[in-house]
Chains A and B, each alone.
Chain A
């Protein structure tokens, strides 16, 4: 049964089938589900409360370049112990998520060192601020501080802030060091201050839980971080300051104009670069023979493929899955048996290559599974389920833990393919040679079949053929399903990668999941049920408008989720309260 037929059969009630599943195999749709906002009267869908998000390494470098014209050195961009530490994908897929960012002294240390370095070499006159000496002229000093601060903090400074930085300026001048050094000192302080280091939004502007539209500066900041991975430019700031742009419906046309303008700017490619880098996780490539250069080439090829299809060809997002063009660096082309045409990344037609179709069979994506040697069905399957269906696997059910232990012991000498077959067999009725024990297969059936098609590719993404080393056929046929029971009639089977990728392109679940990923990336928050809820309407909107990257960006930026926030809890609960006991050990 094809996926479209599944939709007719189960519709949006598929999620309700969870309760009937033998085990709840998937976690809350959307992701970790740790931050579900309240459902508000008058609002169909809830939105996220705000959360401070520390600038990533790239965002910091981009802002310093875009606002101050300072190019960080290689050491300042990447050296361990000197650069801003990389985020380690703490939650969800994207490094720009504010949720679960690790703490550590390395972060304030790096921001402090870089602040001193940048402030020391910035061309103050080239900033376009009022460069006249301000000593003794308080108003002039305040104006300079306010202008610089608005650019770096992404919002106007309060009077308190202006006074505080003016006081710093004055104290440096009082040391006899002059206006320039005083300004550099103010800059150094601003580059470490909370509104620069963190992406902040007003979280107390409404009653707790109440939704409000973002103000102009907040929306400008969200737009610029989404599309440029950086701070707003002068035009966005001007629109915010004049109240022409904000998150309310009255500003939708202005917002869409800005989105189009920003997409035309070369900086918009930072968005796709970061998105595909995090989605594909190509840096996890671990196969024998991998080198730093090859890993970089795989990642760059993946990005180039994405860009070529979505930017140059203005292709649809869904046709990423079925495209027969791949951008490949010379080393990556050679990896999969193509003779490189040049020393540069080029687009190659791969239709003649067996089973090579769509971005998911790009070696950069397959290598991103991070397998060491042979492909790992369970590992790959879970990765595909998370990335393509936005489902999280949850705990092994109580009854299955012991079964898993004895299964692992009994079949310790089998390879992954054989173990997968054993799990399928166990679930079958005794009359069919099974043991009528679905405790493993009930969950594994959700993700293992997604990985079967990839059995024909090794850890480097090279095509292995259709048989294994012993000549036995590789199990490469699998299925997709939106159903969470073991109902085999609910499956959409595939035998070839072309069939598989066509199912994915047509799958509403998968395409809505892509919308969810863009929502998560755009708002800088790990996906929860809230993003999941919005993904459906965003998917419909972007498909209606052509299904391209541009359509997706517009749909995401126009969504109420992107334009709104909900007020957060301001004060902590007062002290631990005794609760009813769990039931004891």
Chain B
């Protein structure tokens, strides 16, 4: 349903800043309203690092998977997936090789370039070939504290295999990305006519730029396929930026109800949000490439906030596709405090990561009990994301929750200690297309990814994009409803 916006309207956001409305004469909002029309297809990937040993995954809810127990009838668990193609063609250490095979399936071109798109990008393009149906095409957020090859922290891979944006770490910035940039307060010195004129000129400039990109990626361009793909990604970024300046009318009208955002988001203290590059100075006593020691509770609280923002954005149909990263792939994280998982016991992070990271102290030394405790902690974070999606206070028009109406794919980058068999994945929700339960048959991750997209009428193309590696997926019919 299109709505014309008044260019004369200025709305007050949090604090004293004004949120400016679009420059367009008329703005079309998403034609699907999650509360009143057909349920859209959505796909969200959730990832965590370092794997779950098969024997622990197969303990079911008596082991590290216990936090998922409330969602037992909405989830399928896979404990014996194979990702060995990552080893055949990749380069560098395991995490570099597998990080960009997760949710892609095929081996990487190199540790900076995947073979092709990640799952949510496939669904976005296949279901919406004319372009994103929502204000934002997709969003990537999460917590990561490593640097080096993007394969270790990027979850969004483009069709040409290049990495998408690094996951946004700060909830405050994620809020801004989703709900818009506040503009400086109107000083009152310009008339409304002058403001409107400035907006029209800005619009003209932006339209001119967009036309140049459209030409550059068209058949009349002198560029090749790869270059066009890069420019297309940049064009999409321009559109996303354009849309970021426009708050969802739904979120700002009195009848917004469940789509009304809360006050601007604060970032929980204690996380090194700006540990972005090797240029960033480290506090005394902290050595790279480890993260600074982080309070484990603050860490998961931050992830939970991101998940809630995602849930709100999905609810408001601001985007339908995204990725959330709970712990980075092969990351060297250090935590503080104690965490207790009812089924696995207590892990004392102060002791376990006193001199080194979770990665080296637990996973390289194969300390299985502590691995189980740590992954219980990680699963608790992922479960909080499912909780946010499964809010019973927000029921869609088909009587189901957002989780029911979203395909959530959970994955990690390897099996036990850099092994590429026994890789754990899980699926939640899925629009009723999938059965719940524990599936212990061996299968390739490509088989799973292709099977997950089939009920949506999507030919994934996974297995055809790598120059040397070809694979015909086998349908995992046992998981199909």
Which residues of A are at the interface with B, using a C-beta cutoff of 8 A? 27, 32-34, 49-52, 54, 80, 86, 88, 90-91, 99-109, 112, 160-161, 164-165, 167-168, 171-172, 175, 177, 181, 185, 188-189, 192-195, 197-198, 200, 202-205, 281, 283-286, 288, 290-292, 295, 370, 372-373, 392-395, 398, 401, 405, 408-409, 412, 567-572, 575-582, 584-585
* In the complex with contacts A101-B162, A370-B278, A177-B364 CB distance below 8 A: no
B131 to nearest A CB, angstroms? 16
Cross-chain contact B443 with A185 (CB below 8 angstroms): no
Q: Which B residues touch A393, using CB under 8 A? A: 91-92
A568 to nearest B CB, angstroms? 3
Cross-chain contact B223 with A203 (CB below 8 angstroms): yes
Identify A86's interface contact among B163, B208, B277, CB under 8 A: B277
Beta-carbon nearest neighbor of B221 in chain A:
A204
B254 to nearest A CB, angstroms? 30
Identify B204's interface contact among A27, A104, A185, A286, CB under 8 A: A185
Q: Which B residues touch A568, using CB under 8 A? A: 223-227
Q: Name the segment of B35-43, B57-65, B468-476 touching the other chain.
A: B468-476
- Assembled-state Cα–Cα distance A167/B204 (Å): 10
Identify A395's interface contact among B87, B209, B443, CB under 8 A: B87
Q: Which A residues touch B282, using CB under 8 A? A: 286, 290
Q: Is B197 an interface residue (CB 8 A)?
A: yes
Beta-carbon nearest neighbor of B215 in chain A:
A160
Q: Is B70 an interface residue (CB 8 A)?
A: no
Cross-chain contact A108 with B241 (CB below 8 angstroms): yes
* In the complex with contacts A185-B201, A188-B205, A585-B82, A409-B366 CB distance below 8 A: yes
A138 to nearest B CB, angstroms? 17
Per-residue 0/1 for B451-469: is the Cβ within 8 Å of any A Cβ (1 yes, 0 no)?
0000000011101110001
- Assembled-state Cα–Cα distance A99/B281 (Å): 28
Q: Which B residues touch A569, using CB under 8 A? A: 224-226
> What 3 A-B pairs come out closest when comparing CB atoms?
A568-B224, A104-B165, A372-B287
Q: Which A residues touch B215, using CB under 8 A? A: 160
Cross-chain contact A409 with B278 (CB below 8 angstroms): no
Most buried by B among A164, A292, A412, A584: A584
Cross-chain contact B216 with A194 (CB below 8 angstroms): yes
Q: Which A residues touch B112, using CB under 8 A? A: 32, 90-91, 99-100
Q: Name the segment of B47-55, B231-239, B345-353, B394-402 touching the other chain.
A: B231-239
7 contacts between A and B (CB under 8 A): A101-B162, A202-B222, A203-B224, A408-B364, A568-B223, A576-B464, A579-B472
Cross-chain contact B164 with A580 (CB below 8 angstroms): no
Residues 183 to 225 of chain B near chain A (Cβ within 8 Å): 197, 200-201, 204-205, 208-209, 211-213, 215-216, 222-225
Q: Which A residues touch B237, using CB under 8 A? A: 103-105, 107-109
- Assembled-state Cα–Cα distance A272/B87 (Å): 37
Extra A-B contacts (10), CB below 8 Å, given A51-B226, A105-B241: A90-B150, A102-B163, A108-B234, A109-B241, A193-B209, A204-B222, A290-B282, A568-B225, A578-B472, A580-B472
Identify B464's interface contact among A192, A195, A372, A577, CB under 8 A: A577
A569 to nearest B CB, angstroms? 5
Cross-chain contact B234 with A34 (CB below 8 angstroms): no
Q: Is B182 an interface residue (CB 8 A)?
A: no
Cross-chain contact B222 with A582 (CB below 8 angstroms): no
- Assembled-state Cα–Cα distance A406/B24 (Å): 64
Cross-chain contact A175 with B223 (CB below 8 angstroms): no
What's the interface size class on B, roughly?
A: 35 or more
Q: Is B334 an interface residue (CB 8 A)?
A: no
Most buried by A among B113, B284, B419: B113
Q: Is B244 an interface residue (CB 8 A)?
A: yes
Residues 438 to 453 of chain B near chain A (Cβ within 8 Å): 442-444, 447
- Assembled-state Cα–Cα distance A369/B365 (Å): 25
Cross-chain contact A50 with B470 (CB below 8 angstroms): no
* In the complex with contacts A204-B223, A370-B289, A576-B461 CB distance below 8 A: yes
Identify A52's interface contact among B88, B227, B471, B474, CB under 8 A: B227
Cross-chain contact A105 with B165 (CB below 8 angstroms): yes
- Assembled-state Cα–Cα distance A490/B120 (Å): 52
Q: Is B166 an interface residue (CB 8 A)?
A: yes
* In the complex with contacts A88-B277, A568-B226, A401-B150 CB distance below 8 A: no
Q: Is B230 an interface residue (CB 8 A)?
A: yes
Q: Is B293 an interface residue (CB 8 A)?
A: no
Q: Which A residues touch B279, using CB under 8 A? A: 283, 295
Residues 271 to 306 of chain B near chain A (Cβ within 8 Å): 274, 276-279, 281-282, 284-285, 287-290
Cross-chain contact A405 with B241 (CB below 8 angstroms): no
Cross-chain contact B472 with A102 (CB below 8 angstroms): no
Cross-chain contact B165 with A106 (CB below 8 angstroms): yes
Cross-chain contact A91 with B113 (CB below 8 angstroms): yes
Identify B287's interface contact among A86, A112, A288, A578, CB under 8 A: A288
Cross-chain contact B208 with A168 (CB below 8 angstroms): yes
- Assembled-state Cα–Cα distance A585/B87 (Å): 14
A146 to nearest B CB, angstroms? 15
B471 to nearest A CB, angstroms? 5
- Assembled-state Cα–Cα distance A285/B289 (Å): 11
Q: Which B residues touch A292, using CB under 8 A? A: 281
Beta-carbon nearest neighbor of B243 in chain A:
A105
Q: Which B residues touch A112, using CB under 8 A? A: 238, 241
Q: Which A residues touch B359, using CB under 8 A? A: none
* In the complex with contacts A194-B216, A202-B222, A405-B418, A189-B205 CB distance below 8 A: yes
Q: Which A residues touch B110, using CB under 8 A? A: 32-34, 91, 100
* In the complex with contacts A160-B215, A161-B212, A168-B204, A103-B288 CB distance below 8 A: no
Cross-chain contact A579 with B418 (CB below 8 angstroms): no
B3 to nearest A CB, angstroms? 25
A396 to nearest B CB, angstroms? 8
* In the complex with contacts A185-B205, A582-B85, A372-B288 CB distance below 8 A: yes
A445 to nearest B CB, angstroms? 19
Q: Is B171 an interface residue (CB 8 A)?
A: no
Beta-carbon nearest neighbor of B158 in chain A:
A103
Cross-chain contact B150 with A102 (CB below 8 angstroms): yes
Q: Is B384 an interface residue (CB 8 A)?
A: no
Cross-chain contact A54 with B227 (CB below 8 angstroms): no
- Assembled-state Cα–Cα distance A34/B222 (Å): 23
Beta-carbon nearest neighbor of B216 in chain A:
A194
- Assembled-state Cα–Cα distance A204/B219 (Å): 11
* In the complex with contacts A194-B213, A370-B278, A204-B224 CB distance below 8 A: yes
Q: Is B97 an interface residue (CB 8 A)?
A: yes
Cross-chain contact B201 with A172 (CB below 8 angstroms): yes
Q: Which A residues touch B88, using CB under 8 A? A: 395
Q: Is B109 an interface residue (CB 8 A)?
A: yes
Residues 89 to 132 of chain B near chain A (Cβ within 8 Å): 90-92, 97, 109-110, 112-113
